[in-house]
Every structure is written in structure tokens, then in C-alpha cells.
């Protein structure tokens, strides 16, 4: 269906998205949100801005991938970002992940396995 490079780029896209979310989560933990305008001010925080840059890079990779592979394959594969984020939640943010969330991870992995067949 696609070259090895395309699958490497899918992984890069997922890593960029997860890294961006990680930067955003870290960045907002350092800010105080007292009014809706705080969200606008947050855009100028270095961590938030870095996350935006990673998302922009992910978008460039995504646009390239859309030109090479069917969206019916690509978009479900991107759900692996949810799986990776669970591990970030555990190891970076020390969050507890319930058995129900783990069940969701298993469902996602099963779905991805079906999609790539």
C-alpha cells in the first residue's frame, strides 16, 4: 500500500502530535487560567508555542502523507497517538490509568490491526 518511508512518516507524525500535547500539558501546568483571555496569553508561553510548532510540523507531514496514502488507512493509524499518550500520562505526568482506559487502548490496537490487514 505504501513505502516504508510513508510508515516512518506516520510514526513521525504521531510522535510530533504526542510531543506537542506533552508540551501543552506541561505548559498549562505552569500557568494560571483566571479568565478566557488567559488561553490567548498562554499562546506566548514558550512550552505552548513549542507545542504549536510541533503541531505545524505534524501538519506538513500529514499533508504529504495524504498525497501518498488513503485517508481510510491514515486517520485510523493516527489513533496510535492516543495509545502513546497513555504512556506519556503514566511516565511523564504520573497519572493513574484505569482498567477501562487500558481496555480502550486494547480496542484501539485491535482496530489498528484490522485496518492495516
Counting the structural domains of the chain, the total is: 1
Supply the range of the domain harboring residue 57.
Answer: 4-116
What count of residues does the chain have? Answer: 117
- pLDDT for 50-89, tens place per residue? 999 999 999 999 999 999 999 999 999 999 999 999 999 9
Q: Are 81 and 14 spatial neighbours (Cβ–Cβ below 8 Å)?
A: yes
Residues 28-57 as b/e (b if ≥16 CB within 10 A, e otherwise) read beeeeeeeeeeeeebeebebbebbeebbeb
The C-alpha cell 490496537 sits at 109
Higher-confidence position of 116 and 102: 102
Confidence (pLDDT) at 1: 52
Record the cell numbers describing residue 99, joined without a space.
482498567
Amino acid at each position: 500500500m505504501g513505502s516504508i518511508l510513508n510508515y516512518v512518516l506516520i510514526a513521525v507524525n504521531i510522535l510530533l502530535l504526542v510531543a506537542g500535547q506533552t508540551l501543552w500539558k506541561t505548559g498549562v501546568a505552569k500557568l494560571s487560567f483566571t479568565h478566557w483571555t488567559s488561553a490567548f496569553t498562554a499562546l506566548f508561553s514558550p512550552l505552548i508555542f513549542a507545542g504549536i510548532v510541533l503541531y505545524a510540523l505534524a501538519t506538513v507531514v500529514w499533508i504529504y502523507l495524504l498525497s501518498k496514502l488513503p485517508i481510510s488507512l491514515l486517520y485510523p493509524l493516527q489513533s496510535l497517538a492516543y495509545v502513546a499518550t497513555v504512556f506519556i500520562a503514566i511516565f511523564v505526568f504520573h497519572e493513574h490509568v484505569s482498567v477501562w482506559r487500558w481496555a480502550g487502548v486494547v480496542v484501539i490496537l485491535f482496530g489498528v490491526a484490522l485496518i492495516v490487514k
